[in-house]
Amino acid sequence: MKQFPKLFSAGIMALLLMGFTSSAISVESIPTHGLSTFGNLKYKNDFKHFDYVNPQAPKGGTIRIRNTDTFDSVNPFILKGLPEIVNADKGGDLAFNFASLMTPSYDEPDTVYGLVARSALVDDAGWWVEFTLRDGPSFHDGSPITPHDIAFTFNILKAEGHPSYRILYRDIEAPVVIGQNKIRFNFKQGSLTRDLPLILAVMPILSENSFKDRTFNKTTMVPLLGSGPYKMAKVDPGRAVTYERIENHWAEKLPVHVGRYNFQTIKVDYYRDRTVALEAFFAGEYDFREEFTSRSWATEYDNKPAVNKNLIHRTTLKDASLTGYQAYFFNTRRTIFKDARVREALAMMFDYEWINKNLFYNSYDRLTSIFENSEMKAVGTPSVDELTLLDPWRGSITDAVFRQAHTPSKTMGNGKIRKQIKNALKLLKSAGWTIQNKKLKNVAGEQMSFEFLLYENSSTRIINPFIRNLERIGVNARIRLIDAASWQNRMREFDFDIIARRLGQPAVPGVELRDWWGSNSADINGGLNIAGVKNKAVDALIKEVVKAKSKSELTTAARALDRVLMHGHYTIPQWFKASHFVAYWDKFGRPKANKPGYDRAALHTWWFDSKKAAKVAAALKN
């Protein structure tokens, strides 16, 4: 499984990937120490620490990790640049640098507990949320975090931050500071307010005073003033970043931080070549990696001296999270991809079964849903409740939606795809494309031609067999390989034909769906509706997902949406595994408790073991 470069502001990424961009709330008329989606909080207001940590974990030592490609900014909140952010667990985690009002518990899918805020109060009717700040939270320069900083953060992100913030915060009014330690956010009348309190709870907090002498919306190599357990101590532009733990950090003894953030130093090295990066790992140049390439995991760790001597450990960590959606995305703004029949036909030429067998060592399963690995995945025929949501759209969406849930075309895995070719050509003919002199042409006599836009060449081994199959139906498909920065810019401007990407899913789907699939975001440069989906049924079903007030309502709406999107053939779904392949040098301690179900948790719950590290160092000398 490949990694994709940062697709948009890491600030938004943190909100999405922590799993709280779409959460209902346990509405109470009294302040509460946490917020949850559907149901009670696991941890009571007097809890001492999360169950998945070691509260006696020692502090100190260094962990070295790797990132890919490069970076040209350390400002993660704007559209411009390729930002660096700690490459933790699910892609990027702002919590290492920037505190938020509340912070997630990773053994619950949809819950946050007080950090900068000691409590939250939600209006009985759901029209506002008020946070009360605790005494003590401060920025790294010692200045206190105030409600004015929180108000500044919200306003600046909405006005000048990445465009996705405007979508995320569009139903939230300007905040109101109440006294010295309270801030209230009112929600627009008529808005869908279920998500909004938790969206605000995990918003990273910036220092208003720190921006008096610097411009917010510019790329920079000068770190922003943070307030989290780590700060950027050294920046080697494009190559490496070093993070240092804050001694006696104000949150260190809070229940949500006990046993966490144990490494004294986190060093992130960048590698532009994946082969070089893997060899550097075996040479001891860095300590920890998640393996995203099945071939490497299956073949390239064997017979390595450090692995054979148990100096490097390999493990598979199970993941209960809703799987991210990884696919080839058609740019439906392009004329050739406007017809769903064309998109469906082209998808038939992607022989996943052959690829999984011959290239992936059968390590993965095929994605068949945008809500894979969850009960929200559409299965079988629509339920009565699903049909209630879908029936108003009969005639404007394909009849296939009302039959079986979508499953991609399946082959025998032996390279023989005559059935798929026959079915694809039939669909293409109905859409006005026919074979002429072994070329697939439209009524104007133009051959179907398009590009797969890539920023690195490791996935060419997957796309090239796909291209060969496309050639068998007369399509002129090719690969365009460009540098990561150019790829990022072209993706932001929707200047591509087909692009591979992955959407990291929140635990409870909600408002982020408007950015990914909603009509209003289809033409916003830098937005995440990469496929350019403009479908009124999709918009209506997203609204149903966002306003769902129970798990059953959410499941029904999500399944209905899943049917429409998958039968719309806006993407060619790729593959997934509900686990993490992890390799690390034997220098670390891990909590005895099981890994929390909704996070890899290594970087913020493991610790440096000096005795183990000394043994590794001695072995490397011999």
DSSP notation for 568-598: TT-EEE-EE-SEEEEEEES-EE--SSPPPTT
- pLDDT-derived band at 8 (thresholds 50, 70, 90) equals very low
pLDDT exceeding 90 applies to what percent of the chain? 76
Task: Give the amino acid at 559.
Answer: R
pLDDT of residue 1: 42
Query: Which DSSP symbol is given to 521?
Result: G
Domains of the chain: 230-317+578-621 (3.40.190.10), 325-576 (3.10.105.10)
The pTM (predicted TM-score) of the whole model is 0.79
- pLDDT-derived band at 29 (thresholds 50, 70, 90) equals low
pLDDT exceeding 70 applies to what percent of the chain? 94
Q: Are 149 and 206 in contact (CB under 8 A)?
A: yes
Sign of CA dihedral 114, 115, 121, 127: negative
**Angstrom distances, CA of residue 559 to CA of 61, 107, 489:** 47, 25, 33
Q: Are 5 and 82 in contact (CB under 8 A)?
A: yes
- The neighbour count for residue 50, using CB atoms within 10 Å, is 26
Q: Rounded to an integer, what distance in angstroms lies between the CA atom of residue 98 and that of residue 113?
A: 16
Report whether pLDDT(556) > 90: yes
Q: Rounded to an integer, what distance in angstroms lies between the CA atom of residue 111 and that of residue 196?
A: 13
Mean pLDDT of 486-491: 92
- pLDDT-derived band at 87 (thresholds 50, 70, 90) equals low
Among residues 558, 548, 515, 432, which one has the least CA distance to residue 16? 515
Least confident of 163-177, 199-213, 441-455: 163-177
Least confident of 177-191, 337-351, 603-617: 177-191
Report whether pLDDT(611) > 80: yes
Report whether pLDDT(240) > 90: yes
Report whether pLDDT(89) > 60: no
Gyration radius of the chain's alpha carbons: 25
- pLDDT-derived band at 195 (thresholds 50, 70, 90) equals confident
Q: Are 314 and 583 in contact (CB under 8 A)?
A: yes
Average pLDDT, the chain: 91
Report whether pLDDT(406) > 70: yes
Mean pLDDT of 225-235: 97
Q: Rounded to an integer, what distance in angstroms lies between the CA atom of residue 97 and that of residue 86?
A: 8
On the CB side of 254, how many CA atoms lie within 13 Å of its CA? 22
The pair of structure tokens assigned to 504 is 């990291």
The pair of structure tokens assigned to 14 is 């943190």
pLDDT of residue 39: 65
Mean pLDDT of 365-383: 96
Q: Are 574 and 328 in contact (CB under 8 A)?
A: yes
Residue 157, C-beta contacts closer than 8 angstroms, at least 6 positions apart:
11, 77, 165, 169, 203
- pLDDT-derived band at 120 (thresholds 50, 70, 90) equals very high
Q: Rounded to an integer, what distance in angstroms lies between the CA atom of residue 97 and that of residue 123?
A: 31
pLDDT of residue 605: 96
- pLDDT-derived band at 13 (thresholds 50, 70, 90) equals very low
The pair of structure tokens assigned to 94 is 């702002």
169 burial (CB, 10 Å; 0-12 / 13-18 / 19+) is buried
For 46-69, write each residue's pLDDT tens digit: 999 999 999 999 999 999 999 988
Report whether pLDDT(22) > 70: no
Helix/strand/coil for 177: strand
Residue 332, C-beta contacts closer than 8 angstroms, at least 6 positions apart:
338, 343, 531, 532, 533, 534, 570
Report whether pLDDT(230) > 80: yes
Q: State which H helix or E strand residue 441 sits in.
A: strand 439-441
Mean pLDDT of 504-511: 84
Using alpha carbons only, what angle is made at residue 205 by residues 216 and 485, rounded to the nearest 5 degrees? Answer: 45
Q: Rounded to an integer, what distance in angstroms lies between the CA atom of residue 611 and that of residue 589?
A: 10
Report whether pLDDT(5) > 70: no
The pair of structure tokens assigned to 228 is 């989290």
